[in-house]
């Protein structure tokens, strides 16, 4: 079968698996539903990897274009829906699918036996989630992107509130659902405006039609609306408030997917839509987009890092670290260079493995001690040396330690960003150091019992971390998959930085991704685009030094936090910022409107 | 071509958002989300409108008859399906929250902050 013919299968197989599990799950024993789920997730993973190998290999050209159902363009016009795999999109679909397999292996038999008559429901939802995310990564049609966006959204709300017996997951799922759905409707309004202007829904078609005339208020409004929806998913400040609330309460395997790939798909969406639709003369000028994304990305990175440092609920801490890293990803994309895109892609790849592994380790703590609170767990987890080592290695990798994939991605992204503005590498180092340092602080306190027992802050709001275990009862012995999967994920993150082929593929993917003309020619004219020659990527020396610097800073921050002589008054300074995270849905919606206004103000100078 | 439908769509969206921001009841909030969504229906149908056009069903009108744009109607149908799913799921979460927590007032949910 040709490469393009495989694309619908990557989306259809998990959908089919979900249907099979929902229909037959209740009649099958647990082990069969788990095995079926893994098989239905692994098959698209293999397909996506095959597609990636073919489009990245360059034999048949770097784009695989499939008009679903044979509805091809006739004379440049058509109503068909197109799936497009370039190396970056195919790579993301492969990452999603591999991570889903890892998550299903992690929850193998561990996740509490679902209530009677609902066997297989959890696995079915995960498969639906996989289909939505793969579809979003592979679609070449803006309206379909909205549909997949909502599919993954709805499934993610259901998965977040999966433990319906407790009130916190319900609260988190409601905030998540309302804010993300409103973002989705903004995106649809924007798509409608683009359709009104161009009469097209395909990314390539809209882009080509827009370039016929100068941009005006309608194009700008459409951009702001579409970008709002995608930035809500990406949890960029000030659209980010839903993310910590949802991640703190979602089941651990779901957190691995939400933090590892779903949030990053929002960043991917912004970059994909910008390059294919708005990057030409009829769209949003490059300097305006760079300014907007740099402002939002910097705010996101700094606020995420600050809030991450102040958490005691470990899952929430990791959630804010995701916010901070999303800010760095947005910054890497903002410089609008192929190097920025490929560096960010590697960073996302490494981050997905590291963050999922860290969440996996926290899941072990949760199921053994019924708590994810740094203060309550102080010194208690010394009996879990393997988990402790994995968690510490994850913290070091998160802070950008070479030769992990996070280190390489950070090095390349900050090098690209540094060419746009000289102070940006400092932002990368600072944010990596603070988020990695927060994880290392937790490792020191929880696994090593270092320093004095921490005390609660009396100033400002705080979320404590008592929670119910997700297994049938508290674990007495840690199951093998719950340790093997985080270890494998960390090994994967390491291989991203070590294997030269990964970096070379990302470099080519970045150049293809930023070539809007090539994309349109491949999709609309069916013209084969010559694959750019591979350039060997090396670890930049400055990047290695900055990575070592941020790791050393992270370790120093963690040590300082654990062994510092006495409380300083610094915690009081952050209380106003922490109060913004109020847990109130109305506030979050108000911030969404503020964010739209900010985005409009930052891009409005593109009008003349 | 008149701007009125576009203004109406914008107005409905803003009314829905205002309701969400000031809501004191989660069922009301989910309703407001549905109101905000209905602005997308209005906008879609306004975009596809053609003066003098009829419904794009060709079983009983001649094929050369002027019709409104059928694409946006297909989009609106998809949109309605999405909206129904979201509303149903969120309402189910609210029902469950009422059972577990005994309240539907967003101000009473104070576990997650800071």
The confidence band for B93, taking pLDDT boundaries of 50, 70 and 90, is very high
**CA dist., res. A604 & res. B83, Å (int):** 31
Within 8 A of A460 by CB-CB distance, chain B residues are 114
Q: For the segment A47-64, what is each residue's pLDDT rounded down to a tens digit?
A: 999 999 988 876 677 888
What tokens were used for B62? 């001649």
Say if the Cβ atoms of A589 and B20 lie within 8 Å: yes
3-state DSSP assignment of residue A531:
coil
Residue A583's pLDDT is 85
Residue A190's pLDDT is 96
Angle of helix A121-138 relative to helix A263-273, nearest 10 degrees? 20
More confident residue, A527 or B7: B7
Residue B20 clears pLDDT 90, i.e. is over it: yes
DSSP 8-state code for residue A383: G
Between A153, A170, A461, which is nearest B96 by CB? A170
Residue A139 near residue A66 (C-beta atoms within 8 A): no
Q: Residue ranges per domain, chain A?
A: 285-451+487-517+534-564
3-state DSSP assignment of residue A377:
coil
A 239-298 residues with CB < 8 A to B: 244-245, 248-249
Using a pLDDT cut of 70, give the percent of chain A over it.
94
Residue A100 near residue A126 (C-beta atoms within 8 A): yes
A 431-460 residues with CB < 8 A to B: 460
**CA dist., res. A425 & res. A414, Å (int):** 5
Residue A607 clears pLDDT 80, i.e. is over it: no
As separate numbers, helices (DSSP H) first and strands (DSSP E) second, chain B gives 3, 0
Residue B59 clears pLDDT 80, i.e. is over it: yes
> Residue A66: in which H helix or E strand, if any?
strand A64-67
Using a pLDDT cut of 90, give the percent of chain B over it.
62
**CA dist., res. A310 & res. A570, Å (int):** 11
Note whether A310 contacts B: Cβ–Cβ < 8 A.
yes
Q: Which of A151, A171, A172, A241 to mutate to test the interface with B (most CBs of B within 10 A)?
A: A171
Between B40, B82, B111, which is nearest A171 by CB? B111
Within 8 A of B23 by CB-CB distance, chain A residues are 585-586
Classify strands A82-85 and A64-67 as parallel, antiparallel or unpaired: antiparallel
Note whether A585 contacts B: Cβ–Cβ < 8 A.
yes
What tokens were used for A4? 């393009």
**CA dist., res. A34 & res. A361, Å (int):** 21
Q: Which of A175, A586, A593 to mutate to test the interface with B (most CBs of B within 10 A)?
A: A586
Residue A27 backbone class (left: φ over 0; alpha: ψ -120 to 50; beta: rest): alpha
Residue A507 near residue A535 (C-beta atoms within 8 A): yes
**CA dist., res. A210 & res. A99, Å (int):** 37
Sign for the pseudo-dihedral over CA of A569, A571, A574, A575: negative
Within 8 A of A172 by CB-CB distance, chain B residues are 112
End-to-end CA distance of chain A: 50
Q: Which of B76, B93, B98, B110 to mutate to test the interface with A (most CBs of A within 10 A)?
A: B93
**CA dist., res. B57 & res. B68, Å (int):** 10
**CA dist., res. A482 & res. A101, Å (int):** 13
The ipTM (two decimal places) reads 0.96
Residue A216's pLDDT is 87
Say if the Cβ atoms of B44 and A192 lie within 8 Å: yes
Residue A488's pLDDT is 96
Residue B104 near residue B25 (C-beta atoms within 8 A): yes
Q: Which of B102, B15, B84, B32 is nearest to A179 (CA)?
A: B32
Residues paired with residue A270 on neighbouring β-strands, in sequence order = none
Note whether A168 contacts B: Cβ–Cβ < 8 A.
yes
Nearest CA in chain A to B41: A189
Residue A121's pLDDT is 87
Q: Picking from A283-297, A343-357, A444-458, which range would have the lowest pLDDT averaged per residue?
A: A444-458
Angle at A304 between CA A554 and CA A446, to 5 degrees: 50
Residues paired with residue A85 on neighbouring β-strands, in sequence order = A64
Q: For the segment A511-547, what is each residue's pLDDT rounded down to a tens digit?
A: 999 998 889 998 888 877 776 776 766 788 888 999 9
Q: What are phi and psi of A262, to 5 degrees?
A: -65, -45
Domains of chain B: 4-55+65-105 (1.10.287.3510)
């Amino acid at each position: 079968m040709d490469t393009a013919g495989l694309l619908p299968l990557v989306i259809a197989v998990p959908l089919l698996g979900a249907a099979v599990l929902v229909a037959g799950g209740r009649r099958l024993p647990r082990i069969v539903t788990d095995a079926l789920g893994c098989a239905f997730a692994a098959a698209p993973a293999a397909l996506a990897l095959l597609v990636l190998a073919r489009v990245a290999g360059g034999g048949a050209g770097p784009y695989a274009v499939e008009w679903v159902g044979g509805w091809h363009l006739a004379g440049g016009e058509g109503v068909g829906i197109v799936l497009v795999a370039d190396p970056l999109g195919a790579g993301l679909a492969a990452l999603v699918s591999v991570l889903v397999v890892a998550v299903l292996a992690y929850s193998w038999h561990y996740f509490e036996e679902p209530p009677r008559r609902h066997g297989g429901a959890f696995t079915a939802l995960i498969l639906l989630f996989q289909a939505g995310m793969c579809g979003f990564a592979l679609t070449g049609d803006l309206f379909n992107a909205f549909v997949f966006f909502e599919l993954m959204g709805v499934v993610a709300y259901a998965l977040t509130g999966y433990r319906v017996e407790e009130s916190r997951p319900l609260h988190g799922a409601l905030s998540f659902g309302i804010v993300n759905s409103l973002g989705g409707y903004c995106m649809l309004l924007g798509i409608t405006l683009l359709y009104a202007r161009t009469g097209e829904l395909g990314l390539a078609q809209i882009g080509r039609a827009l370039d016929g005339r100068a941009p005006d208020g309608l194009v700008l409004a459409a951009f702001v609306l579409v970008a709002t929806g995608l930035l809500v998913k990406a949890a960029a400040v000030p659209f980010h408030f839903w993310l910590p609330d949802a991640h703190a309460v979602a089941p651990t395997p779901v957190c691995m997917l939400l933090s590892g790939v779903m949030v990053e798909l929002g960043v991917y969406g912004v970059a994909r839509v910008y390059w294919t639709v708005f990057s030409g003369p009829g769209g949003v000028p490059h300097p305006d987009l760079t300014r907007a994304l740099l402002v939002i990305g910097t705010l996101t990175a700094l606020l995420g890092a600050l809030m991450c440092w102040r958490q005691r609920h470990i899952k929430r801490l990791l959630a804010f670290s995701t916010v901070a890293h999303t800010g760095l990803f947005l910054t890497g994309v903002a410089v609008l260079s192929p190097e920025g895109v490929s560096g960010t892609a590697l960073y996302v790849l490494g981050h997905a493995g590291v963050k999922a592994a860290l969440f996996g380790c926290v899941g072990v703590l949760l199921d053994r001690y019924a708590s994810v609170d740094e203060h309550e767990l102080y010194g208690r987890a010394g009996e879990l040396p393997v988990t402790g080592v994995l968690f510490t290695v994850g913290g070091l990798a998160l802070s950008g330690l070479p030769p992990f994939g996070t280190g390489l991605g950070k090095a390349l992204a900050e090098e690209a960003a540094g060419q746009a503005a000289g102070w940006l590498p400092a932002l990368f180092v600072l944010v990596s150091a603070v988020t990695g340092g927060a994880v290392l602080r937790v490792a020191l306190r929880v696994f090593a019992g270092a320093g004095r027992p921490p005390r609660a802050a009396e100033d400002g709001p705080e979320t404590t971390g008592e929670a119910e275990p997700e297994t049938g009862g508290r674990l007495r012995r840690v199951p093998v998959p719950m340790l093997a999967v985080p270890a494998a994920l960390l090994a994967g993150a390491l291989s991203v930085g070590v294997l030269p082929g990964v970096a070379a593929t990302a470099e080519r993917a970045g150049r293809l991704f930023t070539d809007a003309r090539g994309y349109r020619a491949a999709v609309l004219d069916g013209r084969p685009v010559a694959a750019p020659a591979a350039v060997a990527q090396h670890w930049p020396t400055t990047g290695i030094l900055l990575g070592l610097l941020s790791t050393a800073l992270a370790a120093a921050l963690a040590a300082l936090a654990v062994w510092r002589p006495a409380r300083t008054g610094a915690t009081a300074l952050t209380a106003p910022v922490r109060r913004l995270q109020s847990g109130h849905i109305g506030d979050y919606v108000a911030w969404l409107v503020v964010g739209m206004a900010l985005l409009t103000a930052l891009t409005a100078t593109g009008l003349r | 071509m008149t701007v009125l439908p576009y203004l109406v769509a914008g107005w409905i969206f803003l009314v829905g958002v205002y309701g969400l921001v000031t809501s004191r009841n989660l069922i009301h909030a989910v309703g407001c989300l549905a109101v905000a969504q209905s602005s997308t229906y209005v906008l879609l149908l306004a975009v596809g409108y053609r003066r003098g056009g009829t419904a794009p069903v060709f079983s009983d009108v001649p094929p050369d008859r002027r019709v409104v744009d059928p694409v946006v109607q297909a989009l609106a149908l998809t949109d309605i399906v999405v909206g129904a799913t979201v509303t149903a799921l969120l309402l189910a979460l609210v029902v469950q929250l009422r059972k577990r927590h005994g309240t539907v007032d967003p101000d009473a949910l104070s576990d997650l902050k800071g």
